[in-house]
């Protein structure tokens, strides 16, 4: 039986371990007394030989050898080697105990999951639990010398009642060179499946729970087998053992008391019994003996596991749980504190010390606070809502917007390529005299090379939707409206002229533009060649007469509250061949072509803020109506814009409007 002294050390007191030092069973004295006597006897023999049997020259030589051994014996790392080894062995010892298969969890699940008060149900439950006990017996018989001495053959196992004659035939008929401790577990699973088919296990969830507990039980059996097969590496055990024995063999010579008359350093005192050397041997050799006892706890040492006792206990408890206690319930009654809202079990006279200690309420329960600091502060003095003070904006929102605006647009490369391609197409589609000198294609390309800081057909990048706040919105077909208009005041589909025709939808406009671009490709080339042959005088005069309608360029205003608005003045339609088309600039706005492409409808351009209202070039409506656009309000960023084109027919017109381009069929 394992030595248990837990009750003797329940309370720490003066010399509480003194009684434990006198115990003999399971003590270090019982384990080490033979080695200790052998060491002391050899030390005494060497000392007597040195003192009485050696000549003077032989004594001088032995004294030099003793000093040499004592000097180099300290090079052996005894504490490190033994400490790590014993720690490893103790952890392994406790892990092996936790892996001993116990049937407690499985018997509770089986007692509640496998139903049936008849003899068939009782037979199933008892047989299944007997299989688990048989599996544990087979694995313990394989790893424990004490269990093997109790059950040396399978006949003893059968005679003990763990196995029937038919089961032994089945067990021996399976030819396998490996340990067959797992066979009873397979029999258990087969019986569980049979009980499920018979309806004694009501559902699959219960069957799954039973099999999971069985697998946990079988896993513990498997781990015991592996612990027995895989030991602590032999080389480590050999190193520790050799280190301990070699150290004390050297101490037999190095720790001898030498003649004080020779004047050796540290040998001024002559004693016959080496007290501290014996204590050192007791501690280090005892440490090694602890490892020797714990490295295999399935033996017959005083502190080894009581495996035979565990077999008896587990078998009896498991059978009682699934048989005698199945369905056996005591009569339910009201407890003693049924009507007591604050039940307090009584104390005996020996346990009254528990009432003297108040119950724990928390570490800050007894914290003292001055009375003048216990009053609540007025809510007006607590500034909790910082955003409300800044008008709904976070104080760092300006910096955050600046970082977003300075970030490059992910569509910048695509936008630049589209702009250059559009400029080249415009050179072929329109005569060179239609471009104003200040808005040539070369200038637009130069602006693109400078970094793409301008927006529109000739510069900048395409509008990006990655976290950009829009200040104002512009349609490439012409027209500007203020982006600060509240969203609730915007009217969708409001036309300027009530008597006009219905405004075409955006999809129809885009389809018409695509068809027009295909048809105009060859038609405009022929028309431009004929007109250029007739003379550029008429075209130039028409452009100059229309350009005179525009006011002089104005400097952009830095006031973010002002926004330029162009209002229609002339509604006379112009042919596409005589209408110049050039990119918008921050200071001058030129006429737009009457035929707008799909790309032109979704181009964002910077809007310069003028101190005066600039009238727009009159554009013919599409179908007699004009378009209105939805603006997206923003915070305070006047440099980046995003356009949204929407429109429908409506009898009323908004105050801020744009003039869309006309479509020529």
pLDDT band for position 527 (50/70/90)? confident
pLDDT band for position 552 (50/70/90)? low
Query: How high is the pLDDT of residue 74?
Result: 86
- CA 32 to chain CA centroid, nearest Å: 53
Query: How high is the pLDDT of residue 395?
Result: 55
For residue 474, the SS3 value is strand
Q: How many CB atoms lie within 10 A of CB 68?
A: 13
pLDDT in tens, 312-339: 999 999 999 999 999 889 999 999 999 9
pLDDT band for position 605 (50/70/90)? very low
- Distances, alpha carbon 198 to alpha carbons 5, 202, 206, 270, in Å: 51, 9, 14, 88
- The answer, yes or no, to whether residue 472 has pLDDT greater than 70, is no
Q: Shortest CA distance to 492 belongs to which of 267, 652, 325?
A: 652
* Ordered DSSP codes for 87-150: HHHHHHHHHHHHTS---HHHHHHHHHHB---SHHHHHHHHHHHHHHHHHHHHHHHHH-HHHHHH
- The answer, yes or no, to whether residue 436 has pLDDT greater than 80, is no
Average pLDDT over residues 24-45: 93
- CA 537 to chain CA centroid, nearest Å: 76
Average pLDDT over residues 592-621: 46
- The answer, yes or no, to whether residue 543 has pLDDT greater than 90, is no
More confident call, 274 vs 451? 274
Average pLDDT over residues 180-207: 96
Burial class (CB in 10 A: 0-12, 13-18, 19+), 92: middle
Average pLDDT over residues 286-310: 92
Average pLDDT over residues 206-231: 96
- The answer, yes or no, to whether residue 567 has pLDDT greater than 70, is no
Rounded to whole angstroms, the Cα distance separating 494 from 514 reads 26
pLDDT band for position 564 (50/70/90)? very low
- Out of 222-236, 339-353, 471-485, 499-513, pick the least confident: 471-485
Do the beta carbons of residue 595 and residue 513 sit within 8 Å? Answer: yes
Look over the chain and give the mean of its residue pLDDT values, rounded to a whole number.
Answer: 74
- Out of 27-31, 49-53, 660-664, pick the least confident: 660-664
- The answer, yes or no, to whether residue 459 has pLDDT greater than 90, is no
Rounded to whole angstroms, the Cα distance separating 345 from 352 reads 12
Choose the most confident range, by mean pLDDT, from 280-289, 424-433, 456-465: 280-289
- Out of 179-193, 294-308, 617-631, pick the least confident: 617-631
For residue 164, the SS3 value is coil
- The answer, yes or no, to whether residue 443 has pLDDT greater than 70, is no
Query: How high is the pLDDT of residue 541?
Result: 55
Average pLDDT over residues 574-589: 42
- The answer, yes or no, to whether residue 35 has pLDDT greater than 60, is yes
pLDDT band for position 256 (50/70/90)? very high
* Ordered DSSP codes for 183-200: HHHHHHHHHHHHHHHHTS
More confident call, 288 vs 648? 288
Q: Shortest CA distance to 475 belongs to which of 621, 600, 579?
A: 600
Average pLDDT over residues 247-273: 90
Owner of token pair 């007699």 = 624
pLDDT in tens, 337-382: 999 999 988 888 888 876 777 778 888 988 889 988 888 877 776 6
Rounded to whole angstroms, the Cα distance separating 318 from 129 reads 6
- The answer, yes or no, to whether residue 138 has pLDDT greater than 60, is yes
Percent of the chain with pLDDT over 90: 43
Query: How high is the pLDDT of residue 591?
Result: 44
| Prediction pTM value | 0.56
How would you classify the pairing of strands 473-474 and 480-481? Answer: antiparallel
pLDDT band for position 538 (50/70/90)? low
Q: Shortest CA distance to 664 belongs to which of 560, 588, 593, 600?
A: 593
Query: How high is the pLDDT of residue 593?
Result: 44
- The answer, yes or no, to whether residue 47 has pLDDT greater than 60, is yes
Q: How many CB atoms lie within 10 A of CB 3?
A: 11
- The answer, yes or no, to whether residue 461 has pLDDT greater than 80, is no
- Out of 111-125, 235-249, 439-453, pick the least confident: 439-453
The DSSP code for 63 is H
Owner of token pair 């590496």 = 233
């Amino acid at each position: 039986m394992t030595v248990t002294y837990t009750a003797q050390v329940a309370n720490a007191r003066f010399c509480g371990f003194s009684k434990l030092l006198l115990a003999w069973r399971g003590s270090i004295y019982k384990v080490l007394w033979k080695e200790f006597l052998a060491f002391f006897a050899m030390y005494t023999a060497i000392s007597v030989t040195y003192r009485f049997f050696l000549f003077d020259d032989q004594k001088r030589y032995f004294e030099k050898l003793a000093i040499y051994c004592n000097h180099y014996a300290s090079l052996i790392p005894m504490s490190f080697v033994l400490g790590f080894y014993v720690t490893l062995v103790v952890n392994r010892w406790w892990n092996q105990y936790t892996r001993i298969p116990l049937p407690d969890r499985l018997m509770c699940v089986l007692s509640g999951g496998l139903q049936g008060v008849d003899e068939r149900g009782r037979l199933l439950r008892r047989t299944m639990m007997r299989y688990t006990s048989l599996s544990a017996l087979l694995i313990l018989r394989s790893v424990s010398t004490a269990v093997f001495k109790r059950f040396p053959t399978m006949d003893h196992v059968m005679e003990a009642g763990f196995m029937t004659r038919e089961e032994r035939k089945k067990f021996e008929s399976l030819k396998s060179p490996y340990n067959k401790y797992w066979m009873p577990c397979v029999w258990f699973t087969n019986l569980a499946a049979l009980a499920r088919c018979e309806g004694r296990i009501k559902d699959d969830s219960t069957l799954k729970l039973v099999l999971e507990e069985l697998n946990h039980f079988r896993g513990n059996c498997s781990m015991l087998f592996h612990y027995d097969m895989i030991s602590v590496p032999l080389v480590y055990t050999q190193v520790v053992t050799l280190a301990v024995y070699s150290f004390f063999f050297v101490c037999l010579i190095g720790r001898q008391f030498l003649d004080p008359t020779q004047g050796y350093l540290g040998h001024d005192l002559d004693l016959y019994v080496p007290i501290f050397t014996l204590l050192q041997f007791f501690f280090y050799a005892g440490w090694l003996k602890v490892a020797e006892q714990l490295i295999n706890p399935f033996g017959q040492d005083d502190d080894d596991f009581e495996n035979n006792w565990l077999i008896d206990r587990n078998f009896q408890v498991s059978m009682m749980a699934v048989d005698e206690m199945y369905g056996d319930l005591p009569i339910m009654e009201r407890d003693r504190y049924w009507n007591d809202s604050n039940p307090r079990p009584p104390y005996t006279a020996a346990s009254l010390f528990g009432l003297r200690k108040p119950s724990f309420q928390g570490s800050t329960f007894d914290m003292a606070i001055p009375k003048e600091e216990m009053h609540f502060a007025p809510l007006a003095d607590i500034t909790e809502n910082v955003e409300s003070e800044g008008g709904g904006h976070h104080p760092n929102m300006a910096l955050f917007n600046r970082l977003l605006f300075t970030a490059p647009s992910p569509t910048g490369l695509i936008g630049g390529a589209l702009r250059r391609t559009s400029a080249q197409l415009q050179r072929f589609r329109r005569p060179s005299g239609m471009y104003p000198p200040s808005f040539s294609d070369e200038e637009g390309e130069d602006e693109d090379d400078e970094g793409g800081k301008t927006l529109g057909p000739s510069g900048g990048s395409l509008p990006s939707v990655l976290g950009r706040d829009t200040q104002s919105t512009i349609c490439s077909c012409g027209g500007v409206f203020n982006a600060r208009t509240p969203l609730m005041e915007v009217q969708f589909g409001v036309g300027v002229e009530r008597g006009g025709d219905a405004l075409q939808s955006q999809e129809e406009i885009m389809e018409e533009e695509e068809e027009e671009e295909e048809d105009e490709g060859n038609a405009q080339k022929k028309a431009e060649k004929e007109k250029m042959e007739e003379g550029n005088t008429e075209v130039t005069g028409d452009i100059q007469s229309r350009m005179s309608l525009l006011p002089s360029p104005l400097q952009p205003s830095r006031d973010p509250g002002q926004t330029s608005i162009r209002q229609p003045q002339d509604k006379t339609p112009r042919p596409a061949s005589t209408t110049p088309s050039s990119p918008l600039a921050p200071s001058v706005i030129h006429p737009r072509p009457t035929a707008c492409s799909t790309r032109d409808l979704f181009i964002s351009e910077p809007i310069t803020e003028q101190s005066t209202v600039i009238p727009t070039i009159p554009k013919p409506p599409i179908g007699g109506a004009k378009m209105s656009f939805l603006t997206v309000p923003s915070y305070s960023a006047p440099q980046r814009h995003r356009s949204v084109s929407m429109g429908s027919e409506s009898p009323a017109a908004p105050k801020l409007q744009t003039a869309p381009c006309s479509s020529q069929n």
